[in-house]
Amino acid sequence: MTIPTADDGRLLVQIGSYNTNLQGGAGLPQNLVDWLAPTLQVSSFLARGTHAPDIVAIGFQELLPLHLGLSGLSKSIISERDKHIRSQIEAHAPGKEQYSLVARIVNVGVALLVYARDSGAARSITDVQTQWTGCGPGFMGNKGAVGIRFRASRSGDDPGEVFTFVCAHLNAHEYNLDRRIADWNHIVASLLFPPLPGSAESAGPTTLYTTSHLFFLGDLNFRVVVPPDQRAPGESQPAYTLRMLDDEPDRERLKEYDQLLNARRAGRVFVGLREGAFWTFKCTYKYKLGEVEKYSDKRTASWTDRVLYATYLDSPDTPEKSAITNVLYTSIPSYTTSDHKPIVCLLLLPPPVAAESSAINATVPTLKLPTEYSPCPDPHAALKRYTGRTLDRIIGFAWWALTLIGVGNAAVGVFNFMLGLAAWKWWPRAPVSAVSA
């Protein structure tokens, strides 16, 4: 097999995703070598030399305690994460390459940070945009997505290519498959970006599909569901799943019960996106806290954490093939502060297609989708987004106040509040001693 190289203009994109289980600043170890170094080693091998990733995207879910996220009090946490991640990327890069932050975006507990190598991709990036949307109750941001989009071109005459990264956290629990699919449709319709450069002035907002390359990552919460007739008599679904995890051939059979894979094959979700062989690593959820390998018996082990992608050279006629080479796709078992394991993916993009020098109206290439699928922006997207954000802030600050009253515990805060309210109501009715004239 011929090993592709990164010497022909192909970009290496490293993607990491981690649900940190509301750990805030304590969700990452000081040394991220387990998360970053395997990818960097592979990228060096792929390029037959020292070639660090050109673009690095890191996404988080449940970044910090929910009351702080709803209140919008995430600035210090995301700033700390930015400094820590960038220092670790540079420390483990094969040539000690330097990276610049392209953009970062947070909505409640969902966060995304994108970096570019200073000696390469960072020089050509323009038109950076960020966006967010919520798909929790009332469009709140406890579930939802954030996105970063930018354009990279090699010259002033070249329209270049547009990169779109989206990090999401969808509804949980096995029985909520339809809710997750609805979340996806809501994100497509409401995570909107301005028109592409060169578009007509009358062009309206665009969906995440209006891009040259799309990367969708996060805790997507799709579960493994095994029919009873496929299990041994009396064997529970969690027990069956755990029995199938130790060997890759068994995991490959187990993947046929993965909700995301089946829904994608049916065209119900992630239309036009591809994914690497996720069954080559063990399920990323649900682990016992503090354990490297032990799963919780409260849930069926599942591949909830995923990375999907598409490029403009992909054909709708071959939905399982991509012009993007999936070099590495794995989980990192050594992280034990969450019930999820982080994942990491390395993608080698196809060589850029140069615009015709004679082309008068050269445009940015965009994804090709099946003719029966036409995603459209929701005309009420802004109203829904800001309705959700208003509810976020109201509930978040109320929750934050109760937590403060309860010295870190909202339940204690509610008790203290009710106790104080009862005392306030009682006090005016207390008998007052008569004063002698």
User: Which are the contacts of 85, defined by CB distance < 8 A and separation ≥ 6?
Assistant: 32, 58, 113, 115
**Of all helices (H) and strands (E), which one includes residue 343?**
strand 343-348
Containing structural domain, residue 275:
12-223+258-380
Lowest mean pLDDT among 82-86, 100-104, 200-204: 200-204
**Is 281 inside a domain boundary?**
yes
Average pLDDT over residues 386-403: 91
Number of separate domains in the chain: 1
Selection from 85, 59, 79 nearest residue 167 by Cα:
59
Q: Average pLDDT, whole number, for the chain?
A: 87
| pLDDT for 147 beyond 60 | yes
**Is 310 inside a domain boundary?**
yes
| pLDDT for 421 beyond 80 | no
**Is 176 inside a domain boundary?**
yes
pLDDT in tens, 297-318: 889 999 999 999 999 999 999 9
**Is 305 inside a domain boundary?**
yes
CATH for 216: 3.60.10.10
**Is 415 inside a domain boundary?**
no
**Is 405 inside a domain boundary?**
no
pLDDT band (50, 70, 90) for residue 403: confident
d(C-alpha 39, C-alpha 345), whole Å: 7
pLDDT of residue 407: 43
| pLDDT for 200 beyond 80 | no
**Is 243 inside a domain boundary?**
no
| pLDDT for 434 beyond 70 | no
**Top-confidence residue, 158 or 355:** 158
**Is 282 inside a domain boundary?**
yes
Q: What is the DSSP letter of 349?
A: P
Give the rounded percent of residues in the chain with a pLDDT score beyond 90.
70
d(C-alpha 244, C-alpha 241), whole Å: 5
**Top-confidence residue, 392 or 404:** 392
pLDDT in tens, 349-378: 999 876 544 444 578 999 999 999 999 999
Strands 161-169 and 213-219: parallel
pLDDT band (50, 70, 90) for residue 133: very high
**Top-confidence residue, 50 or 136:** 136
Average pLDDT over residues 261-271: 97
d(C-alpha 77, C-alpha 69), whole Å: 10
pLDDT of residue 28: 87
**Top-confidence residue, 46 or 162:** 162
